């Protein structure tokens, strides 16, 4: 029966792929999203002094002239923060700015942005409203707003690279703007950069209660016999499904194979039948040499995780002394809010990847991205606000106060660390809160990073395969 389900999935996937094939970039698991319209038209014509050759060779087509929001973005990408601020003041003084996002902290950043503009023009004023749709309705809301000649929302802060790629960028509903100072800080230019503009990378990490005798020395321990780690689940938060799909990418599948190789013979014997059973599916899904290890881990994870509604309750459970031996995968920053008591303490948990001898993936990372809407009513103000959040410490501070949230601007990241000192957030008293930083997590910590292009490419194949896996139900 499962073979029939998989065959149906693959047949449907091939139909979709063939229909979309003409527009495919074919870049596989690239870590960058496709270039924006602005970036794609930045090709200069080569001049020649050979009149004979020029006569024999047809002249190249001139680059299409940019219009509307694309023209504004192209101009804005060459402007400094102060120049953008002056354009914003001219455009939005006395008006109302509407933003929409997955993070409520956009509402915290907007008043600071207005204060910044008032340092240039004390008479400037702007009202604002920030919406945070629930249940992943942000995509429907942006799609609906895109049908208007002039939209309501000036910009968005949004997560879930898979749906952003397929529903928002491929359809040109959202437009990428790369601030000049951000590009310079990353050693590139707006023209050379490909991909979405990330505000930050957030990490979700494996943790476990240490008040008992259970040990989690390997990422495979979280899917071993009897383990039921707490997790928001692929239906509660879609980035969790992106994490699972990313595990099938060659780099991360290899990490899982290497972690498996480090297990003792008893645990290898437990996992081996599942790995062998996944070999055929890995071949059918077009995965690499270690794809069966990824599928086996994914299958066992989905079959066994204990689904929760939010990361907050997961954290509250794990730090209580009564949660002996329980484990979970949750946002690292939740530890910042733990209130110490006789039975509750950050010291009741271990961050798995921080433990000596731990082997394998330590968690996963996903981004909050920033975009203009294609019909933004205040595009210059949106560009200035995006630049403010990504290029200034004050603009990023609403997110930067948390450990486990890393600015994509290295200059801002350094300023945030100097201010908040997340690397010593818990000091000697609470070592689990001493954030080892983005560079450590993405290397030694083996953090699996979401790639919007890869996720969108395997959504119909691996994603559909995940959808039909059985879920654990406590008490059954």
Q: What is the per-residue DSSP string for 61-90? A: PPPPPP-HHHHHHHHHTTS-HHHHHHHHHH
Residues 6 or more apart whose Cβ sits within 8 Å of residue 463: 162, 241, 245, 455
Q: Which fold has domain 201-362+433-467?
A: D-Maltodextrin-Binding Protein; domain 2 (3.40.190)
pLDDT given at position 57: 42
Residues 6 or more apart whose Cβ sits within 8 Å of residue 293: 253, 256, 257, 260, 275, 278
Closest alpha carbon to 295 in 312, 317, 313, 279: 279
Dist. CA 400–CA 127, nearest whole Å: 24
Give yes or no for residue 62 having a pLDDT over 80. no
Inter-axis angle of helices 379-391 and 393-400, nearest 10: 70
Q: pLDDT (tens digit, 9 = 90+) per residue, 175-206?
A: 999 999 999 999 999 999 999 999 999 999 99
Dist. CA 240–CA 204, nearest whole Å: 9
What's the distance, CA 172 to chain centroid?
19
Give yes or no for residue 67 having a pLDDT over 90. no
Number of C-beta neighbours around residue 324 at 10 A: 13
Domain 68-200+367-420: CATH superfamily, name plus number: Periplasmic binding protein-like II (3.40.190.10)
Give yes or no for residue 1 having a pLDDT over 60. no
Q: pLDDT (tens digit, 9 = 90+) per residue, 281-336?
A: 999 999 999 999 999 999 999 999 999 989 999 999 999 999 999 999 999 999 99
Domain ranges of the chain: 68-200+367-420, 201-362+433-467
Name the residue with higher pLDDT: 259 or 37: 259
Q: pLDDT (tens digit, 9 = 90+) per residue, 215-265?
A: 999 999 999 999 999 999 887 788 999 999 999 999 999 999 999 999 999
pTM for the full model? 0.85
Residues 6 or more apart whose Cβ sits within 8 Å of residue 80: 180, 181
Do the first three CATH levels of 68-200+367-420 and 201-362+433-467 match, i.e. the same topology?
yes
Give yes or no for residue 59 having a pLDDT over 80. no
């Amino acid at each position: 029966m499962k073979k029939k389900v998989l065959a149906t999935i693959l047949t449907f996937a091939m139909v979709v792929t063939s229909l979309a094939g003409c527009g495919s970039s074919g870049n596989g698991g690239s870590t960058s999203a496709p270039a924006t319209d602005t970036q794609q038209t930045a090709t200069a014509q080569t001049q020649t002094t050979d009149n004979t050759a020029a006569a024999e060779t047809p002249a190249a087509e001139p680059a299409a002239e940019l219009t509307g929001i694309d023209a504004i973005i192209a101009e804005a990408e060459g402007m400094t923060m102060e120049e953008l601020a002056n354009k914003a003041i001219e455009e939005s003084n006395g008006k109302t700015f509407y933003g929409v996002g997955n993070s409520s902290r956009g509402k915290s950043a907007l008043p600071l942005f207005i204060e910044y503009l008032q340092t240039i023009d004390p008479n400037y004023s702007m009202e604002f409203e920030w919406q945070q749709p629930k249940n992943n309705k942000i995509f429907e809301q942006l799609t609906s707003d895109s049908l208007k000649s002039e939209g309501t929302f000036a910009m968005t802060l949004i997560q879930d690279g898979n749906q952003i790629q397929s529903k928002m960028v491929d359809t040109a509903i959202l437009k990428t703007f790369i601030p000049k100072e951000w590009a310079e800080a990353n050693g590139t230019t707006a023209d050379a950069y490909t991909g979405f503009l990330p505000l930050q990378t957030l990490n979700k990490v494996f943790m476990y209660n240490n008040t008992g005798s259970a040990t989690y020395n390997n990422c495979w321990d979280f899917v071993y016999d009897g383990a039921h780690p707490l997790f928001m689940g692929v239906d509660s938060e879609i980035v969790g499904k992106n994490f699972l799909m990313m595990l099938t990418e060659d780099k991360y599948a290899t990490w899982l194979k290497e972690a498996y190789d480090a297990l003792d013979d008893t645990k290898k014997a437990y996992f081996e039948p599942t790995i062998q059973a996944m070999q055929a599916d890995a071949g059918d899904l077009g995965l690499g040499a270690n794809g069966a290890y990824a599928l086996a881990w994914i299958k066992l994870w989905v079959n066994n995780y204990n689904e929760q509604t939010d990361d907050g309750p997961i954290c509250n459970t794990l730090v209580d002394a009564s949660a002996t031996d329980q484990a979970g995968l949750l946002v690292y920053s939740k530890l910042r809010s733990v209130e110490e008591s006789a039975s509750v303490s950050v010291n009741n948990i271990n961050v798995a990847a921080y433990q000596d001898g731990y082997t394998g993936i330590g968690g996963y990372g996903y981004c909050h991205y920033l975009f203009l809407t294609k019909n933004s009513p205040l595009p210059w103000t949106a560009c200035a606000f995006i630049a403010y959040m990504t290029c200034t410490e004050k603009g990023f501070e609403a997110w930067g106060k948390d450990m486990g949230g890393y600015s994509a601007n290295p200059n801002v990241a350094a300023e945030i660390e100097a201010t908040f000192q997340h690397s010593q957030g818990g000091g000697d008293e609470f070592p689990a809160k001493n954030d080892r930083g983005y560079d450590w997590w993405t290397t030694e910590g083996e953090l699996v990073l979401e790639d919007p292009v890869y996720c969108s490419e395997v959504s119909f194949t691996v994603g559909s395969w995940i959808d039909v896996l059985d879920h654990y139900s406590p008490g059954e």
